Structure 1
Amino acid sequence: MDLLQTIISYYHGEARHGFWGAIIGGLLLIGGLLFLKWASPLSLLKGFSIPMLLFGLLLGIGGGADHIYTSKATPGKIALYQKDPTAFLKQEKAKVEKTHRGWRGIRIFWAILGLSGLTLSFLIRNSFWMGAGLGTLALAIIISLFELYSMRFNEQYYHAIQGATLQTSKIKTNEIDTGKTQQVKMQQKQVEDEGKKERQLKPTGSNLPQNLLPDSLTHLNVPRITLLITRDSANINTPDSLQLQVAGSEKPTTYHNNKNRKALGFDHANALNPKHCGSARNRIIINQKMNNMKKVALVTGASAGIGAATARLLAQSGYTVYGVARRTDKMNTLKDAGIKTIAMDVAEDTSMVKAVEQIIAEQGRIDILVNSAGFGSYGAIEDVPMEDARYQLEVNVIGLARLCQLVLPYMREQHFGKIVNITSIGGKMATPLGGWYHASKFAIEGLSDSLRLEVKPFGIDVIIIEPGGVKTEWGGIAFDSAEKRSGHTAYGELTSKAKSVFAKSEVNNVAPVVIAELIKNSIEVKSPKPRYAKGYMAGIILGAKKWLSDPMFDRMIMSQMK
Structure 2
Amino acid sequence: MQPKTVLITGCSSGIGRATAEAFLDEDWEVYATARNPADIETLGDRGCTIATLDVTEPDDIERVVDRMLDEQGRIDCLVNNAGYAQFGPLEDVPTDAVHDQFDVNVYGPHRLIRAVLPHMRRRREGTIVNVSSVAGRLSFPGGGVYCGSKFALEAMTDALRSEVAEYGIDAVLVEPGPVDTGFTERAEEELSGVERSGAYESFYGVFEDTQAIGGGGLGAVSPERVAEDILNAASSTKPASRVPVGTLARVTVLGRFVPDSLRDRAFGLLDRLR
Q: TM-score range by the shorter chain?
A: over 0.9
Match of 1:450 among 159, 164, 172: 159
2:86 corresponds to which letter in structure 1?
S
Distance 1:315 1:516, change over 3 A: same
Aligned to 1:393: 102
Match of 1:519 among 213, 230, 244: 230
User: Could you list the runs of 4 or more consecutive aligned residues of structure 1 that deviate by over 4 angstroms after TM superposition?
Assistant: none
1:368 aligns with 2:41: no
| Structure of greater relative contact order (alpha carbons < 8 Å, 6+ residues apart) | 2
Task: Determine if contact 1:482/1:495 at 8 Å carries over to the other structure.
Answer: no
Aligned to 1:252: none
> Equivalents in 1 of 2:30, 2:6: separation in Å?
5
Distance 1:504 1:556, change over 3 A: farther
Displacement of 1:486 in angstroms is 5.4
Question: What CA deviation, in whole Å up to 9, does each residue of 1:508-529 have, x standing for no partner?
Answer: 3111000000111112222111
Distance 1:491 1:480, change over 3 A: farther
Aligned to 2:113: 404
> Equivalents in 2 of 1:479, 1:469: separation in Å?
15
Aligned to 1:329: 38
1:299-318 alignment runs, 5 A limit: 299-318=8-27
> Equivalents in 2 of 1:558, 1:518: separation in Å?
34
Question: Of the two, which has the highest radius of gyration?
Answer: 1
Displacement of 1:405 in angstroms is 0.5
Distance 1:401 1:297, change over 3 A: same
> Equivalents in 2 of 1:427, 1:316: separation in Å?
30
> Equivalents in 2 of 1:401, 1:378: separation in Å?
22
Aligned to 1:438: 147
> Equivalents in 1 of 2:67, 2:207: separation in Å?
43
Aligned to 1:550: 260
Displacement of 1:493 in angstroms is 2.7
1:64-463 alignment runs, 5 A limit: 290=1, 293-463=2-172
Aligned to 1:498: 207
Task: Determine if contact 1:302/1:331 at 8 Å carries over to the other structure.
Answer: yes
Aligned to 1:534: 245
Task: Determine if contact 1:321/1:339 at 8 Å carries over to the other structure.
Answer: yes
Number of aligned residue pairs: give it: 270
Gaps of 5+ in 1: 1-289
> Equivalents in 1 of 2:201, 2:188: separation in Å?
12
> Equivalents in 2 of 1:444, 1:464: separation in Å?
9
- The DSSP-based 3-state class of the residue aligned with 1:303 is coil
What's the Cα RMSD here?
1.6
> Equivalents in 1 of 2:13, 2:38: separation in Å?
11
Aligned to 1:69: none
TM-score, normalised to structure 1, is 0.47
Aligned to 1:196: none
Question: What CA deviation, in whole Å up to 9, does each residue of 1:85-109 have, x standing for no partner?
Answer: xxxxxxxxxxxxxxxxxxxxxxxxx
> Equivalents in 1 of 2:154, 2:241: separation in Å?
10
> Equivalents in 2 of 1:553, 1:483: separation in Å?
28
> Equivalents in 2 of 1:479, 1:527: separation in Å?
38
Question: What CA deviation, in whole Å up to 9, does each residue of 1:227-246 have, x standing for no partner?
Answer: xxxxxxxxxxxxxxxxxxxx
Task: Determine if contact 1:369/1:419 at 8 Å carries over to the other structure.
Answer: yes
1:374 corresponds to which letter in structure 2?
G
Displacement of 1:487 in angstroms is 5.5
Distance 1:352 1:317, change over 3 A: same
Task: Determine if contact 2:92/2:197 at 8 Å carries over to the other structure.
Answer: no
Distance 1:461 1:370, change over 3 A: same
Task: Determine if contact 2:92/2:196 at 8 Å carries over to the other structure.
Answer: no
